[in-house]
Amino acid sequence: MAKREDIRTILVIGSGPIVIGQACEFDSSGAPAYKVLREEGYRVVLVNSNPATIMTDPGLADRTYIEPITAEFVEKVIREERPEALLPTLGGQTALNVAVELAESGVLDCYGVEMIGCSLEAIQRGENRKLFNECMAELGIQTARSGYAYSVEEARAIVDEIGLPVVLRPSFTLGGAGGGIASNYDELDLIVSQGLELSPIGEVLVEESIEGWKEFEMEVVRDRAGNGIIVCSIENLDPMGVHTGDSITVAPAQTLSDVEYQRMRTASLAVLEKVGVQTGGSNVQFAVNPSDGRMVIIEMNPRVSRSSALASKATGFPIAKVAARLAVGYTLPEIVNDITGTTSACFEPSIDYCVVKAPRFAFEKFKDSDDTLSTRMKAVGEVMACGRTFEEALGKALRSLENGRAGLGVDGHMRASETKEGYAPLLARPTRNRIVYIGCALRRGWTPSEIHDLTGIDRFFLDRMADVVAVQEALRGARIDDMDAEAFRIAKRYGLSDVQIAFLTNSTEIIVRTRRKALGVVPVFNAVDTCAAEFESSTAYFYKTYEAPVLANGDSLSAADAAEEPRQKPKALILGAGPNRIGQGIEFDYCCVHASYALHDAGWETIMVNCNPETVSTDYDTSDKLYFEPLTYEDVMDIVDVEQPDGVVTTLGGQTPLKLARALEEAGVPFMGTGADAIDLAEDRDRFAALLDSLGIAYPPAGDAHTLDEAERVASRIGFPLLVRPSYVLGGRGMAIVYDAKQLRRYMGEAAKISPDHPVYLDKFLESAVEVDLDCICDGEDVYIGGVLEHIEEAGIHSGDSACCIPPFSLSDTLVNQLRDIAWRLALSIGVRGLLNIQFAVKDQTVYVIEANPRASRTVPFVSKATGVPLAKVAARVMAGEQLADMGLPPDTRELGYCAVKEAVMPFGRFPGSDVVLGPEMKSTGEVMGIAPTFPAAYAKTQLAISYELPRSGDVFISVADRDKRSIAALARDFARLGFEVVSTGGTAKTLSASGVACKKVKKISEGHPNVVDMIADGEIKLMINTPFGHGPRGDGYVLRLAAVRHGVTYATTIAAAQAFAAAMEVARDKGLGVVALQDLPQWT
Amino acid sequence: MSLLASKMLAATSKPPAKEALLVLEDGTCFHGNACGALGEVFGEVCFNTSVEGYLEIVTDPSYAGQIVVMTYPQIGNYGVCLEDAQADHPALRGLVVRDMCYTPSNWRSERTLPDYLKREGIFAIEGVDTRALVQHVRDYGAMRAVLSSEDLNAESLANKARASEPIVGVNLARTVSCPEPHAFGQSDLASSKAFALAPPALARYRVIAYDCGIKRSILEGLVRAGCEITLVPWNTPASQVLEMAPDGVFLSNGPGDPDAVEGTYRQVEKLLGKVPVFGICLGHQMICKAAGGQIEKLKFGHHGGNQPVMNLLTGRVEITAQNHGFNLVVPSLGPLASEMEGISPAHPADLLFWAEQGIAPVVSNPRYGGVRLTHVNLNDGTAEGIAFTDIPAFSVQYHPEANPGPTDSHYLFTAFTRLMDGREDYLDIDIAKDRLEGWQFE
């Protein structure tokens, strides 16, 4: 069989913005898949609303539509492009859901579009629990006993039959959203009622609890000839009950004997055949009873998934690329294994290392939300680590998480401070820290068996961890001089980092490193080659480990795969961004990838270091070499020692590599682009303030403080309100606005915990100022202004959470020129060689510089897509020594002729109990983009892309803080004109009536029933405008906003957003929204 | 080892270190610690890429004379269930792993792997850079080696390795064959696998199995397919077998150089055409030898559970378990049959040609008529299976019984019963339909 010639154009759907449960793994799957499809000669049309992805680069697909992934917009694209085929399996649940909607509504038939990769029937059999369970029954494969409920009463009836506890899974929701475990009828009623609302078809599966069983996952690939292979098996460290996305997982499966493994393998293949997955990748999840081997199937996904991205990185087998080829007609034996370049892709990878994935959480961002891990995924990112033992891989994974830890304990954090008994509750409840508590408990004398009884974690993993702790404790208190090579190798075999060794021996990381190297204990770099070294591989994808030396006739034999060859080209080492977390997402990965492309094209050998399996940067063919390693000093320096790079890029991966810059520079590592001193000049408040003073640039009055006394002195000097934050943070972590001395005292009490070594910064907060971002590139002589972004929300909302527009929609040319002028002067005087991001606040026509970051900013991908100039690539070439003047860039003063809006996507639905108000601390996980001729139309697209409905009529509830009362009348009048009925409580109603706006008054929560929350619950309120006052009191506003999130009511928490909303609704209603391909806008290449 | 290093190691689940060496005949030396029996053993080094199934590998009689390196680094994780063993006692010379597990976890586990190895007197070493070792064997070919906990002098060990007996030309099959004929039936099936495996089919076929070191799971596979088996020693005369008038004869797997197992293939010459014959691995090579075929030694062999094999009759690919160091040279069976002329006038240099064409070519064998090449390895284009067109016999180089490894090729046991039923289409089985045969999930 060969590829299909009857297809010319293929429509592929991306996965949209990054949300919990659906991160950039689909960029990592999609981008290479599209490359493959184009190589095969197909015309690829892409729809994806996420501008931060590589896949939405205009060069990747033939036609790139950054449009909402809704049936309405995808149909518009189909009408425009007339594809013969739709490939829905590479864009996660989002793409699959839209494809199903288009197929069921007849749109695909109407335009003659064939779904390839997976049929509608197969998707339904895979996703609809009832059909799926029927299929499994026909195969004789067990599923957990269960029933479907469409009401709370039905759920209770099912529970009467199968007993408590039960697992509840709303149908067709992302990452298990809305699911949970109920141990009593109260919990049952609560979760079922929430789940029914979240499920698009109002259906909740009520299932026998198999909590505590072992959980496994098989990654399967199948072709249309019926050949099927298992790419990877994965075992969860946490037993059933914790979502697999929230669990530490291990590949390959560790505790299955051959007969158990082969039974699971066979069942997985049979499941794909039965469900009817024609081609491509799927994952199948199983639970195994640890006491008798009983195996039940949990679910399968008939598409590329988060775990297939992980499996690809874990084994080197490129599932998405292969799936794309299979979808257009090839069979597995017709495809060559990319990694070996010689053997068949129709085989099952064998790996000779252990892979550990660890989830990254962000509970600290969502105060008051429950941090118990459950069947509802809450992780915002993940890391992967490879080692030759589970212990080694676990240690590497834990130190990759960017949470200040250096491994499993003994790093100065989380000492074993409880009594032995004190650990019982910490072990019993699954949380993000449980893995560390296990280490503490072992130190306090718990046995693996006792811990197993409380956690249900398999003894295998606990025994391994017990060994790790035992080695640590044996080392504790020793002198570093007593460590010989053997002791170092043992420490490394059990996953200890140099930092941990330093902690245990009361030494420093540098001393440990020096001694280790002096003893000749240096790592080897092994290739991830899909075949356990059985065949030679040409792909440069490495991980690090430590091996006993091999002697060839007495001489040491160099066994490492990453052996040094004569240097042909200069080498650039690019440090990636680490795990996705709030404040540091895919945007930085985008920049690293672009730099790699640009430097490769400019004749450099590019070397990527990163530990995030969800990204394009960790695709083995993005850079010339890939090191899948933690971004710590130790791990990066080990790579530097082997590669001896000519330049290291630290300014594109966000805060992670930036934090290393100083130490790397002290170690004599050559930098590319902006140097550590320039970074320091911009980040050090005193130096930066002195610079601004010397340039005559205004900035908000500020001060810093190590103690409350100092803070109060600063406050009395510059006055309230104050923006307070700890130094050296990203994403506004720990940032707050304080309005009086009492709040300041409370903040200072908490801030001490955040970062004990660094002071707290206090800035005058410019209330109701307009915030502006500016991204530019400086080569030392010229400055190129990439874009000026006007924020929609006013100053005080973190820039990452604020919507923004290119070009500025309300700023005068004079003002924009003033911003440009400041950018030129700042960039040149800081000494930037590469990207610079400046944040301004404009108040009363005065421009204040809030901060300047001489590195890639979160907005670089958005600006690049909006303007057609790939800033990260240009910046990389500047770092490599090119001059801006020689690049032929379009004038940065040109008029774009259209508007591009970026809007943030919030994860509040995942964190019940957490307030949804925007503030100076960033909370969004992702972003969407809208492009249209006008600002309101572009803004409307962003709202639709987040699946906020733009209601057309009904009640709009308005309740605003006092400071907003003056501006509310005009807005309310707009809504009335658009045909909405305005509803208000007390004060706001009075203001509106006084201004002559007709307004229905409802009761506040405190005034009894029926009140406004009842109206929200009843679905009467279609839109809610509620602005909180500064510091978010736990009053009515909080309850209202929670109700809005829970019931899916569209809401705005700032006046600016509400105004944009009104304009958007008007344009969407009157003119309709067209679609536009990036290729039709000017692009610089 | 320093005091501190000893103290660190002593705190773990591992026993006190007992230093051991692995030295190859070319002088390459690997340091490690003993993790099984102690002493000094010699053998040919080969590596196995299976991730699980270490006990099945350790006990596979085909490893007689060999030192096995496991490519997956942590071995012993799920312990030992004795009924997973493929023979009463291991026949391999030694085991090399990166890391041995002393605290396994699995509901079926009866003891730890190091404990098992010690009781069976099998030398094992851990702490070795097995990846470097595998790369060495891959690049320089299989070679002799010595494992020792007694002599820790690399030079002296290298000399001993060079002086040790090579595997080529040695009849190892006779060392692992059964001494006397005996029966194997339904009552001999492993009860500890009943949770996963379906009950056997009704016993309808009487099969004689030549035991050249047969794996227990082959016997179980045959029994589950409906066979009642009499095992006979490797050199049992054909006349004696034919006297018993069996429904079919099975030729087992076994260790070492097939050329040295003349005692078996001379008998196979007399069986072919007289009774339905099925062979696996060494059994396949015995059939090839009987048909006058030539067998060559592979550089480092196929040992693992992920080898892709295309069934040229159906075009379907099976992921197979393999364990062999020798392989059939197809042209040695005879010239291509005349009907192949239009496609290829002579034997193509690479058998992958047939996989690309989707054709199962037929060779004219001077002794037995047509021989069809039925299976080809997609990694390196080696022959993996043949079927005679004029007499009832077929064989495969790989292991449909798996154990360890994938069970895609389970259908070959069904094929054997269909061959005994006299069906022409005995190999024409859809592996997807056969997939769940033999398993159960209740």
Q: Confidence band (pLDDT; 50, 70, 90) for A167?
A: confident
pLDDT band at A806 (very low <50, low <70, confident <90, very high): very high
Burial of A119 (0-12, 13-18, 19+ CB in 10 A): middle
Question: Which chain B residues touch A388 with a CB distance below 8 Å?
Answer: 73, 98-99
Q: Which residues of chain B does A293 touch, with a Cβ-Cβ cutoff of 8 Å?
A: 107-108, 195-196
User: Cβ of B13 and A291 within 8 Å?
Assistant: no
In the set B35, B303, B401, B410, the catalytic residue is B401
At A556, is the pLDDT very low, low, confident or very high (cuts 50, 70, 90)? Answer: low
pLDDT of residue B11: 93
Cis peptide before A807 (omega within 30 of 0): yes
What pLDDT score was predicted for residue A562? 59
Instruction: Return d(Cα B66, Cα A12) in angstroms, integer.
Output: 52
pLDDT in tens, chain B (442 residues): 889 999 999 999 999 999 999 999 999 999 999 999 999 999 999 999 999 999 999 999 999 999 999 999 999 999 999 999 999 999 999 999 999 999 999 999 999 999 999 999 999 999 999 999 999 999 999 999 999 999 999 999 999 999 999 988 999 999 999 999 999 999 999 999 999 999 999 999 999 999 999 999 999 999 999 999 999 999 999 999 999 999 999 999 999 999 999 999 999 999 999 999 999 999 999 999 999 999 999 999 999 999 999 999 999 999 999 999 999 999 999 999 988 888 988 999 999 999 999 999 999 999 999 999 999 999 999 999 999 999 999 999 999 999 999 999 999 999 999 999 999 999 999 998 899 988 998 7
**Closest by Cβ to A269, choosing from B155, B305, B435:** B435
User: Are A831 and A741 found together in one domain?
Assistant: no
Size of interface A-B (CB pairs under 8 A): 260
Structure tokens at A156: 């209770």
Say yes or no: A720 and A679 in one domain: no
- Name residue, tokens 């790592």: A523
pLDDT (0 to 100) of residue A728: 61
What does the pLDDT read at residue A1033? Answer: 41
User: Is the confidence at residue A211, as pLDDT, over 50?
Assistant: yes
Residue of B nearest to A261 (CA): B52
CB-count exposure of residue A312 (10 Å: 0-12, 13-18, 19+): buried
A661 touches chain B (CB under 8 A): no
Q: Do the Cβ atoms of A270 and B56 come within 8 Å?
A: no
Residue A257 and residue A204 share a domain? no
Pair A250, A202 in one domain: no
**Which of A300, A320, A349 delimits the end of a domain?**
A349
Of B11, B78, B135, the CB nearest to A474: B11
The torsion angles phi and psi of A402, rounded to 5 degrees, stand at: 60, 40
State pLDDT tens for residues A240-272. Answer: 989 999 999 999 999 999 999 999 999 999 999
SS3 category, A531 = strand
State the best of A220, A221, A231, A259 to mutate against chain B, taking most chain B CBs within 10 Å.
A259
**Is A257 close to B403, i.e. CB distance below 8 A?**
no
Residue A473 has φ and ψ, to the nearest 5°, of -70, -35
Put simply, the chain A residues between 864 and 883 with a CB less than 8 A from any chain B CB are none
Minimum CA–CA partner of B301 in chain A: A534
Q: Does A477 touch chain B (CB under 8 A)?
A: no
Of the ranges A38-47, A120-129, A760-769, the best mean pLDDT one: A38-47
User: Is residue A545 assigned to a domain?
Assistant: no
| Residue in B127, B155, B317 closest to A227 by CB | B317
What number is the average pLDDT over the span A893-905?
Answer: 94
- Rounded to the nearest angstrom, the minimum Cα separation between A661 and chain B is 34
| Residue A1022 within a domain | yes
- Mutation target to probe the A interface, by most A beta carbons within 10 A, among B1, B2, B12, B193 is B12
For position A1006, which CATH number holds?
3.40.50.1380
Least confident of A4-18, A910-924, A931-945: A910-924
pLDDT digits (tens, 9 = 90+) for A141-158: 999 888 889 999 999 999
Q: Is B399 a catalytic residue?
A: yes
Task: Inform me whether the pLDDT recorded for A1031 exceeds 50.
Answer: no
Closest alpha carbon within chain B to A483: B4
Average pLDDT (A487-496) is: 97
Residue A451 lies in a domain: no
In a domain, A748, yes or no: yes
The CATH number assigned to the domain holding A49 equals 3.40.50.20
**A665-719: per-residue pLDDT in tens?**
999 999 999 988 898 899 888 899 999 999 999 999 988 888 888 889 999 999 9
Cβ–Cβ under 8 Å, residues A606 and A600:
yes
pLDDT band for position A558 (cuts 50, 70, 90): low
Q: Is the pLDDT of residue A773 over 50?
A: yes
Q: Is B324 a catalytic residue?
A: no
Q: Known catalytic residue: B281?
A: yes
A149 - beta bridge partners?
A: A204
| Residues of B in Cβ contact (< 8 Å) with A452 | none
Residues 40-79 of A with CB under 8 A from B: none
Asked whether the beta carbons of residue A258 and residue B72 sit closer than 8 angstroms, the reply is no
Residue A806, C-beta contacts closer than 8 angstroms, at least 6 positions apart: A787, A788, A789, A790, A862, A863, A866, A867, A896, A899, A900
As a whole-number percent, the residues of chain A with pLDDT over 90 amount to 65
> Of all helices (H) and strands (E), which one includes residue A85?
strand A85-87
The catalytically annotated residue of B35, B101, B212, B281 is B281
Q: How many CB atoms lie within 10 A of CB A889?
A: 15
What's the rounded Cα separation, in Å, for the pair A581 and A800? 12
Residues of B in contact with A470 (CB under 8 A): 11-12
pLDDT per residue as tens digits for the range A589-619? 999 999 999 999 999 999 999 999 999 999 9
Question: Given pLDDT bands bounded at 50, 70 and 90, which one contains residue A1032?
Answer: very low
Closest CB from B30, B134, B319 relative to A533: B134
Residue of B nearest to A391 (CA): B74
The CA distance from A323 to A846, in Å, is 55
Domain ranges for chain B, please list them. Answer: 12-163, 173-434
Within A584-675, residue ranges assigned H as helices are 586-601, 633-643, 655-666
A518 at the B interface (CB within 8 A)? no
Q: Which residues contact residue A255 at a Cβ distance below 8 angstroms, ignoring those fewer than 6 apart?
A: A214, A235, A458, A460, B77, B78, B105, B106
CB-based contact A304:A319 (threshold 8 Å): yes
For residues A836 and B216, what is the distance between their CA atoms, to the nearest angstrom?
A: 69
Whether residues A1016 and A935 fall in one domain: yes
Measured between beta carbons, which residues in chain A are less than 8 angstroms from residue B310?
A: 333
Out of A63-77, A277-291, A303-317, A744-758, least confident range: A744-758
Q: Could you tell me what percent of chain A has a pLDDT over 70?
A: 96
In a domain, A367, yes or no: no
Cα A787 versus chain centre, distance? 24
Asked if A291 reaches chain B (Cβ–Cβ under 8 Å), the answer is yes
CB proximity list for B423: less than 8 A, separation 6 or greater: none
Token representation of residue B252: 């087992």
**Co-location of A775 and A794 in the same domain:** yes
Which residue in the list B284, B303, B399, B410 is annotated as catalytic?
B399
Number of domains comprising chain A: 6
Looking at the fold, whether A942 and A1024 belong to one and the same domain comes out as yes
Q: Which of residues 377-396 of A touch B (CB under 8 A)?
A: 388-390
- Say yes or no to pLDDT of A175 above 70: no
pLDDT recorded at residue A1 = 63
Determine the residue among A255, A257, A289, A294 to mutate to test chain B binding: the one whose Cβ has the most chain B Cβ atoms within 10 Å. A257
Claim to verify: residue A911 and residue A814 sit in the same structural domain: yes
Structure confidence at residue A998 as a pLDDT band (50, 70, 90): confident
Q: Which residues of chain A from 934 to 963 reach within 8 Å of chain B, CB to CB?
A: none
A1056 and A970 co-located in one domain:
yes
Both A821 and A770 in a single domain? yes
pLDDT value for A1019 = 82
> E strands of A631-718, at which residues?
647-649, 702-705
What is the average pLDDT across A1027-1034?
Answer: 55
- Chain B residues within an 8 Å CB radius of A491: 8
Distances in Å between the Cα of B3 and the Cα atoms of A515, B9, B10 are 18, 10, 10
Closest by Cβ to B8, choosing from A261, A344, A474:
A474
A682 and A820 fall within a common domain: yes
Using a CB-CB distance cutoff of 8 angstroms, which residues of chain A are in contact with residue B134? 352, 532-534
CATH of the domain at A903: 3.30.470.20
Give the distance from residue B215's alpha carbon to the nearest chain A alpha carbon, in angstroms: 15
Nearest to A550 among B50, B73, B129 (CB): B129
pLDDT number for residue A554: 61
Q: Which residue has the higher pLDDT, A476 or A165?
A: A476
Nearest to A552 among B27, B138, B379 (CB): B27
A802 and A915 inside one domain: yes
- How much is the pLDDT for A284? 97
H or E stretch at A724: strand A722-726
For A501-514, b where at least 16 C-beta lie within 10 A, e where not — what string? bbbbbebebeebbe
Q: State whether residue A444 sits within 8 Å of chain B by CB.
A: no
Find the residue in B nearest to A274 (Cα). B432
> Does a structural domain hold residue A914?
yes
* B442–A459 CB contact, under 8 Å: no
Domain B173-434, architecture per CATH: 3-Layer(aba) Sandwich (3.40)
- Which chain A residues are closer than 8 Å to B78 by Cβ? 254-257, 460
Instruction: Give the mean model confidence (pLDDT) for residues A987-991.
Output: 86
Enclosing domain of residue A189: 145-209
Beta carbons within 10 angstroms of residue A1028's beta carbon: 23
B131, A533: Cβ pair inside 8 Å? Answer: yes
Is the ipTM, as predicted for this complex, more than 0.85? Answer: yes
Q: CB–CB of B441 and A473 under 8 A?
A: no
- Bin A329: left if φ > 0, else alpha if -120 < ψ < 50, else beta: left
Half-sphere exposure in the Cβ direction for A685 (13 Å, CA): 18
Contact A140 B195 (CB under 8 A): no
Pick the CATH number of B12-163 from 3.40.50.300, 3.50.30.20, 3.40.190.10, 1.20.140.10: 3.50.30.20
Find, in chain B, the residue whose alpha carbon is nearest to that of A463. B103
| Selected residues 530-559 of chain A with any CB under 8 Å from a CB in chain B | 531-536, 547-554, 557, 559
pLDDT tier at A414, thresholds 50, 70, 90:
low
A845 inside domain: yes
